[in-house]
Amino acid sequence: MFSNTSGNSASKTLAQTVFPQHAMLRDIALVVVGSLFIALTAQISIQIPIGPVPITGQTFGVLLIGALLGSRLGALSSVLYIAEGLQFPVYANATFGWAVLTGATGGYLLSFPIAAFLVGWLAERGWDRRPAKLLLAMVAGNIIIYLFGVPWLINSIEGTTLSQGLQWGLIPFIPGDLAKIFAATSLVPAGWIGLNALKVGANQSLDEDTTFSSLQIGRETTVAAFILLISGVIAFFSVSTNYGLAIIISGGITISAFQLLNRGYLSSAITQIIVFASASFGGLVALVHLVSFEDQLKISNTDLVVIIGIFASIILLVSLIPKMKKETVPKEN
């Protein structure tokens, strides 16, 4: 009933590879877990003073669940999350009820099943095995959320102009959404690396299987990690103690993960998850400091070091997306 297969052109997603048997009870369990994960990410919420829409982790949860579970289960997880929010405080800022669903942010909520379905549909066609394509899939899913959320926001508040709608519901969220997309994109390739290392789903009925190579730490990646750490140290003493300390922690975790990987204490998959999370956090902290949310979005008067930290984080995120390699799976006689 809940099967995600879509003919011969479809590939297995991560969840389908780990749980290859088609069982209704398993699918129901995955949908419930997916909805709860979205609810958990929704509680990561920051209310900005220039509009009614908060910065949340919901989009990260929706896009990641779509890529992991596939089109139908990912969309059903989002639908169940919306239904849960009608009775339980699982929406952003622990809100719930029809008033939230029909209010200014309702368009974003209603877009989640469509965004998850699109990302899952593309994942089922192998896009989750290719980092560049997965990144494009998640950007497309995020655009779907904007296309629903921003017009709904404009129409729900009387007198709101297009410019105000973009200021309240789009522009301030682009940097954070990009960071969340990079983080979500990293987790799926890391999962495939782990499954490949554990030989999970190796005996697929495919002539050729695309897998991820082991994570390689190049010179530019190491330099970017040290630049991130140094920018944090400088920011700590010259720009802002709190923001600088957060960037220092981000850079320190990144460099430590590299060292543990080189010494054989961490796997490629675990290292990728740690570094993507820390680099995304460091870049996002720097962006929050760089951007001043007042009556309108504007760049604050800040030191160049914060901008350097942002670019260092971007270099880390891009360089750590693993390359692909082709492995031929011999046919069984």
Which tokens hold the place of 62? 């929706």
Mind listing the pLDDT tens digit for each residue in 28-52?
A: 999 999 999 999 999 888 777 777 8
Which of 104, 134, 169 marks a domain boundary?
Answer: 169
Q: In the structure, what pLDDT confidence band is assigned to residue 296 with cuts at 50, 70 and 90?
A: low
Same domain flag for 229 and 145:
no
> CA–CA separation, 13 vs 272, rounded Å?
19
Is the pLDDT reported for residue 203 higher than 80? Answer: no
**pLDDT score at 226:** 82
pLDDT of 121 strictly over 60? yes
Domain end call among 108, 135, 169: 169
Report if residue 260 sits inside a domain.
Answer: yes
Flag whether 275 is in a domain: yes
How many structural domains are present in the chain?
A: 2
pLDDT of residue 328: 44
Domain boundary among 108, 134, 169: 169
Instruction: Tell whether 103 and 232 lie within a shared domain.
Output: no
Residue 27, H or E segment = helix 24-42
In this structure, the answer to whether residues 300 and 153 fall within a common structural domain is no
pLDDT confidence tier of residue 209, bands split at 50, 70 and 90: very low
* Residue 302: predicted pLDDT: 57
Residues 114, 40 share a domain: yes
d(CA 323, CA 13): 18
pLDDT confidence of residue 208:
38
DSSP-based three-state secondary structure for 276: helix
Pair 147, 242 in one domain: no
Question: The whole model's pTM is what?
Answer: 0.71
pLDDT of residue 293: 56
pLDDT tens digits, one per residue of 280-291: 777 767 766 665
Do 247 and 306 lie in a common domain? yes
Local structure of residue 265 (DSSP, 8 states): S
My answer on whether 161 and 47 are in the same domain is yes
Asked if 45 and 126 sit in the same domain, the reply is yes
Q: Looking at residue 19, which CATH number applies to its domain? A: 1.10.1760.20
* Bridge partners of residue 299, in order along the sequence: 291
In this prediction, residue 215 carries a pLDDT of: 57
Query: How far apart, in whole angstroms, are the C-alpha atoms of residue 280 and residue 316?
Result: 9
- The answer to the question of residue 204 being in a domain is no
The pLDDT value given to residue 8: 42
Band of the pLDDT at 206, cuts 50, 70, 90?
Answer: very low
Confirm whether 270 is domain-assigned. yes
pLDDT of residue 327: 46
240 falls within a domain: yes
Tell me the average pLDDT across 109-122: 96
pLDDT the model gives residue 332: 47
The answer on 254 and 151 residing in a single domain is: no
Range of the domain at 128: 14-169
Beta bridge partners of 209: 327
In a domain, 23, yes or no: yes
